[in-house]
Amino acid sequence: MPLQVPGFLLRRLYVRGSLRRTDDGFQLELKNTLGSGYARRLLPLQVNGVQIPLASCFFEVDGVRRAFADVTPDSPFSLALNRTSLLGGEGATLPDGVVEVTIGFEVQGLGALSFSVKDTPASD
């Protein structure tokens, strides 16, 4: 049976206050202070329980932007220690008020993990 990682630990990855509307959707930041890791697959982002199409989800690390769909076991998403990653959804509109965003990924030896954060989006 895979090891379970508590949601409260995963929520520590989210940079509170980083959720913002952009001209083409939304974005948020993750900062890994827990330990280096790799995701073999990224799951579609969800906003208030509504799944954003995988083709519209992206991440950016060190100025390099990649689609969630490009993440594979041979080309993983790296979450290096003390590095900030930008995640976002194109074509998605965030409602006013508090928004719940769910982030999910698959990790070797742990399986699928996900966590949700609630924040009020800012406008770019």
Average pLDDT, the chain: 91
Between the CA of residue 86 and those of 4, 40, 44, 68, 92, what are the distances in Å?
25, 18, 15, 12, 16
Residue 97 has pLDDT above 60, yes or no: yes
Q: Which pLDDT score, from 0 to 100, does residue 15 have?
A: 96
Q: Which fold has domain 7-119?
A: Immunoglobulin-like (2.60.40)
- pLDDT tens for 2-13 read 567 778 888 999
More confident residue, 36 or 103: 103
Angle, vertex CA 17, rays to CA 39 and CA 13, nearest 5: 25
Q: Quote the pTM value.
A: 0.90
| Domain assignments of the chain as residue spans, ordered by start | 7-119
Question: What is the maximum span of the chain, computed from C-alpha positions, in angstroms?
Answer: 43
